[in-house]
Structure 1
Amino acid sequence: MLIVLKEYARLWWRQRWWLSLVLLAITAAVSIELLIPLIFKNMANAFALPVSEATAQVLMQNLLYLALAFMLEWLIWRALEFGIIPLEAGGMRYLDSFCFEVLLKQPYRFFENNFAGSLVKQASRFTRSFESLTDWLIFQLYSKVLATSIALFLFFQQDPLLAAYFLIFIILFIAWNLGFSLWKLKYDEQVAEWDSKLGGLYSDSISNIAVLKSFALESHEQANVRHFARILYKKRRFAWILMFISFAVQAILTSSIEFILVYNMIQDWRQGQFEVGQYVLFQTILLVLLRHLWEFGQSFRSLFSSIADAREMANIIQNQQLEQDTSEAQAQTIRHGKIEFKQIYFNYRQTKAGSTVATSGLFEDFNLTIQAGEKLALVGHSGSGKTSITKLLFRFVDPQQGELLIDDIPIKRFTLASLRQQIALVPQQPELFHRSIKDNILLGKSVSTEELERVARQAQALDFIEQLPEKFNTLVGERGVKLSGGEKQRIAIARALLQQAPIVVLDEATSALDSLTEQQIQTAIFELIENKTAIVIAHRLSTILRMDRIVVLANGRILEQGTHTELLAKQGHYYRMWQHQSGEFLNLD
């Protein structure tokens, strides 16, 4: 709970002037609301007197006071509404951007271990919970404490004994609600946790709808959703039962104090100390106060539900293992493109905190130098470390020991933005935004139409783009589902061409394409890497044979390296793969 309140407190401080205005308005509104019963008291006492001109004047005077009070209360609430919009809506606007920024700072591995749909839901709930908690702070905690304080003061002025009873009631009421709600919080958190899991399952199924439908998995996935929904229902049902138990105890307490009030009035009447106006005053204040306390008690449900909803995102915000620039990082320029891996120790499992010793893992004392302008092919079985090399290059992950340099500059001295902007990536399965083809090629850049068409033509993409209904403005669908694999690959090559980076990484960029399509974009690929340093993960022969050097990997180690001819002459591991080639592909089985 403290984590959530700490994060929201920062925003309340940012919005402190609007918060102050709202609290000032609430102070005035509650004060007037509880002063109105004093007017009713005077009017009730006047009504109990015989009809006379003096009594009529008292009634009319108090009626004027009542009208002024209502008018002031109306104006105060309008001022409160004026302040609540920038306070809450403005705060939510800030949180929408802030949560996205926090998620972007998370390391690459974070997104491999979390559902996208679940993260979106957590961020959304965190933003909505700010509104709920701000409402609770203003309209429940502050206004109810203020109302109770004013009411107790008025009660002590009129009847100290009744005020003492009422004070005991308030203590019991708040103690019960606070204690019970704190105990119940763990069950509210379980509801939020399973709600996120269900949201993640929805996202996972819908984002893989093609697989789901092609394998006729509708019934299977629906059963999974029903199972998760059933667990969520049980968690939610138990939390609600506890909430209704809390309401039942609150009802007993409020009925008790009402009974004590009426009993005390009866005793005063029997002793001749009864005043009609005093009864009206007490009853009116008590009704107002019981309404406030009842709302306050019920508000604990939304308070702790909101805290439970916000806690997951708050924990992400508190995460210290962020993807960030080092203190010595600068916007460096890659002028040549020489890449060096020096004595790299890397394990996907984290080392112990504060330890400088790397555990055994994927890379141990790994060394590799790629000269500027060299075209290097990485081949090896799955798990050999090919993709991990590219992740280290992009700093999606960092080695536990060793150093990676570009142009003799440690990559940690590059800002992440400057590093990644100078390395172009063409992956095996290009991920596209659900935006236009133009947006997916430009990726935020601003270029002329001629330049856009040039890179599309160079990537062999212009012909199919021109045949689309909206041409470059055609929406590609979520993750590019409206395009074929070859079309998406051409889009990826076009944006890499536009990037004009000195280093290019091709991660199985043509392995998923048919031979005809591969031939069509082969020229584009080699134009892309011309005069640039290229790391190519591939097992298509037409790509490998044109590389300056081939590095054969296995379990994070370099087994052998050299040109195609040199490796065949060694008759080693590469030679055996070559002997078992299948069609146009190197056999990596």
Structure 2
Amino acid sequence: MQPEHNNTSGDLARAAALLAQAARPESRRLLIALLGLACAAGLEVLGPMLGKAFIDGYLIPRRADIGGIALLIGGSLLAVWCANGLRYLQLLSLSGVAARSVQRLRERVYGHVLRLPVAYFDRAITGQLVSRVTNDTEAVKALYVQVLFVMLDSVIVLCGSLAAMAWLDPRLMGVVTLLIPAVIGIVWFYKRLSAPAVARARELRSEINAQIAESIAGMPVLQATGAAGRFAARFEQANRAHYEARRAELRANAWLLRPALDLLNVLLLVGVLASFAGRGSVAEVGVLYAFVGLMARVIEPLIQITLQFSQLQQSLIAASRVGTLLAEPLAAPAGESGRIGAGEVALRELAFGYDPAHPVIHDLSLTIAAGSFHGIVGHTGSGKSTLLALLLRFYAPQCGAIEIDGTPISELGDATFRSAVGLVPQEPFLLAANARENIDMGRGLSDGEIESAARAARAHDFILALPEGYATPLGEGGARLSVGQKQLIAIARALAGQPKILLLDEATSHIDSETEQVVQAALAELRGRVTIIAIAHRLSTIRDADAITVLNHGRIAERGHHDDLMAIDGGIYRRLYELQQIED
């Protein structure tokens, strides 16, 4: 995850482009809303103008025309009612625009996250990613509903009021326009003071989310090691920093928003009254009334616009953070064609390092026959897991190639590759769903295909013994199952896709000997039909493999059958095997 940072012009440009793209399908509705707000603003400005007409036409001349007066009063009431009704309808319209735009944006962000390369998640923090997809996209919604509506409405009312003032008395309007540069100065100063605090508050909110997610995920370890107090202290520190950042933002709001603008309003009113008093003309009382009424419609929009700058900054920062995530490059596109038939795997002079200057795999060449059972072992740090990540196409090698049936895996279409290569991870990942859904994984498999995969993985019997069979909810992370049962579900899931190649990442390292025998029996039934490559910690799992490769510091140190490797005096495999026998 990239570090948080304050907004730059590049961030704001990215945020603006992101918001424009999210709202593009709603452009017609936005245009209609804009026209509606313009009509509402025009009706609102009409009120003081009708008041002027009443004073100049009826009050000062003492003219008692009941019909004309009733018409002016009725027109004023109708204008207010229509203006408020239009604003209500446009607020509903913009709320719908916001909800749909955020829906599309959230789906786009989540879809982008799903297509990011695995290497990105090596440095990403889960809580911050969740905050991007949920909190930050929700902040964009506030931009549409609160900021956009209020600011558009205020700008239109402001322009309409200034136009009416210019028509009534250009000189007095010139006095009023002196307010605008002062407001711009206040907003500029407010932005300079509050922008760092707003960015810091959002950064710390992501940090708080990350700490909560991390603590919940590791709760058993956290409590078992007595670390609850230390984690609570760390959370309190982040929470206190977030509180201080919010206080800094609120102090800027309290000093520079409504109090400063209210003071400007009073000063402007004094200036207008003094200018009007200098003329000494009674005939212009209606103009004064209209000006005072219109001034309220100039000041209040300016206040509302300024008050929205806090939310505007938060929304733009959130949009910028979402834009930064969307700017992360996706995984390199795979080939468009190719097919996997027998499932022969060949490594050709393979070299790879997470840091190219420090290779983990060195000039590794190996051929694994189709339908064979091949074990890969080695000390911790020998490159076993890295090799598995390369076989899964999570990373691309810096040198050499991996081929399946003679075709480099980079040239295989993603759907072809993923359907032909199955994975059983060391830590089985189970959904908070039932057994059937955990095996199916959204592939739309039939009940027969799911049960066939479960039988092949030796999981069918224990699934049937569950209270509701295949419909039994397994709980979050498979909480209702033992570690061995979770692993059998993971094997059934991999087999349900009918793979040509099955990769096992230390799949028996956390299970008991009895369950290991069940797994070995399941693998024995697959031999000859599926190419099995097992990264093994427990060597008993691969004792009967067709061939075993021993890695040492990213190179092939030994290779052969179990008996051949055991015959090497002082060999790595023999030492590993004998140590495990002693432990057992």
TM-score range, shorter-chain basis? over 0.9
What's 1:339 paired with? 345
Deviations 1:271-313 (A, max 9, x none): 2255332222111111122111111111001000122233222
Counterpart pick for 1:520 among 518, 531, 537: 518
Q: Check whether the contact 1:347–1:360 (CA below 8 A) recurs between aligned residues.
A: yes
Alignment check: 8 A CA contact 2:539 2:577 kept: no
> 289-298 vs 114-123, which deviates more?
114-123
Task: Tell me: CA distance 1:143–1:158, structure 2 relative to 1, closer, same or farther (3 Å).
Answer: same
Provide the C-alpha distance between the structure 1 equivalents of 2:288 and 2:172, rounded to a whole number of angstroms. Answer: 12
| 1:194-205 matched pairs, under 5 angstroms | 194-205=204-215
Q: Which amino acid aligns with 2:424?
A: V
Q: Is residue 2:167 matched to residue 1:157?
A: yes
- Over 3 Å counting, the alpha-carbon distance change for 1:532 and 1:583 in structure 2 is farther
Aligned to 1:323: 331
Distance 1:159 1:360, change over 3 A: same
Percent of pairs with identical residues: 29
Letter matched to residue 481 of structure 1: A
Match of 2:9 in 1: none
Q: Give the aligned partner of residue 32 of structure 1.
A: 43
Match of 1:413 among 397, 411, 416: 411
**What are the Cα deviations for residues 473-500 of structure 1, in whole angstroms up to 9, with x where unaligned?**
2222222233221111111011122111
- Given that 1:466 and 1:472 are in contact with CA atoms closer than 8 Å, whether structure 2 keeps it comes out as yes
TM-superposition CA deviations, 1:361-397 (whole Å, max 9, x none): 2123222222222221111111111111111111111
RMSD over aligned Cα atoms? 2.2
Structure 1 position 243, deviation (Å) = 2.6
2:239 is equivalent to residue 240 of structure 1: no
The secondary structure found in structure 1 opposite 2:567 is: helix
Q: Conserved in 2, the CA contact under 8 Å of 1:155 and 1:163?
A: yes
How far off is 1:511 after superposition? 1.5
Tell me the CA shift for residue 564 of structure 1: 1.4
Q: Does 1:574 align with 2:573?
A: yes
Q: Relative to structure 1, is the Cα distance of residues 366 and 258 closer, same or farther in structure 2, using a 3 angstrom cutoff?
A: farther
**Residue pair 2:372, 2:527 contacting (<8 A) in 1 also:** no
Q: Give the conservation status (yes or no) of the 8 Å contact 1:324–1:416.
A: no
Is the 2:137–2:318 contact (alpha carbons within 8 Å) kept by the matching residues of 1? no
Deviation digits for residues 395-419 of structure 1 (CA, Å, limit 9, x no counterpart)? 1111223222111111111222321
Query: For the structure 1 residues 443 and 331, does the alpha-carbon distance in structure 2 shift closer, same or farther, using more than 3 Å as the test?
Result: farther
C-alpha spacing 1:217/1:389, structure 2 compared with 1 (3 Å): same
Paired position in structure 1 for 2:191: 181
Residue 102 of structure 1: CA displacement? 1.2
Counterpart CA distance in 2 for 1:488 and 1:162 is 80
- In structure 2, relative to structure 1, the CA distance for the partners of 1:580 and 1:487 (3 Å cut) is closer
Post-superposition Cα deviations, 1:457-476, rounded to whole Å, max 9, x if no partner, equal: 33232333233333322222
| CA shift for structure 1 position 529 | 4.8
Residue segments in structure 2 that go unaligned for 5+ positions in a row: 1-11
The aligned amino acid for 2:330 is: L
Q: Is 1:289–2:298 an aligned residue pair? A: yes
Stretch deviating more after TM superposition (34-43 or 64-73):
64-73
CA distance in 1: counterparts of 2:499 and 2:71, whole angstroms: 83
Aligned mates of 1:224, 1:393 — CA distance in 2: 39
Q: 1:255-266 alignment to 2 at 5 Å? A: 255-266=266-277
User: Contact (CA 8 Å) 2:126, 2:210: kept in 1 or not?
Assistant: yes
Q: Match of 2:499, SS? A: coil
Q: Which amino acid aligns with 1:23?
A: L
Residue 254 (str. 1) matches residue 262 (str. 2) = no
Query: Structure 1 counterpart of 2:476, which letter?
Result: E
CA distance in 1, matches of 2:503, 2:527: 9
Give deviations 1:78-128, integer Å, cap 9, x for gaps: 542453244111112212211111111211122222222221111113321
SS in 2 for 1:376: strand
Q: Answer yes or no: is the 8 Å Cα contact 1:117–1:204 preserved in 2.
A: yes
- What is aligned with 1:548? 546
Equivalent pair of 2:91/2:149 in contact (CA under 8 Å): no
| 2:333 maps to amino acid | D
Q: 1:437 to 1:398 in 2, by over 3 A?
A: same
Q: Using structure 2 for the length normalisation, give the TM-score.
A: 0.92
Q: Please identify, of 504-513 and 364-373, the stretch whose mean Cα deviation from structure 2 is larger.
A: 364-373
In structure 2, do the counterparts of structure 1 residues 548 and 28 end up closer, same or farther at CA, with 3 Å as the change threshold? same
Q: Displacement of 1:213 after TM fit? A: 3.0
1:12 to 23, 35, 42: 23
Deviation of 1:547 (Å): 0.8
Distance (whole Å) between structure 2 residues aligned to residue 253 and residue 335 of structure 1 = 79
Query: CA–CA distance in 2 between the matches of 1:476 and 1:208?
Result: 20
Task: Find the counterpart in structure 2 of residue 134 from structure 1.
Answer: 144
Instruction: Provide the rounded CA distance (Å) in 1 between the counterparts of 2:319 and 2:407.
Output: 42
Q: CA deviation at 1:157?
A: 2.0
When residues 137 and 217 of structure 1 are mapped into structure 2, their CA distance, relative to the original with a 3 A threshold, is closer
Aligned partners of 1:267 and 1:133: how far apart in 2?
A: 45
1:305 counterpart residue number: 314
User: Any residues of structure 2 matched to 1:90-129 within 5 Å, and which?
Assistant: 90-129=100-139
**Correspondence for 2:32:** 21
Cα distance change on mapping 1:377 and 1:177 into 2, 3 Å: same
In structure 2, the CA distance between the partners of 1:373 and 1:297, relative to structure 1 (3 Å rule), is: same
SS at match of 1:535: strand
* Equivalent residues in 2 for 1:488-527, closer than 5 Å: 488-527=486-525
Aligned length: 571
TM-score, normalization by structure 1: 0.91
Deviates more, 1:154-163 or 1:417-426: 154-163
Specify whether residues 428 and 18 from structure 1 end up closer, same or farther in structure 2 by C-alpha distance, changes over 3 A only: same
CA gap of 1:295–1:536, structure 2 versus 1, over 3 A, is same
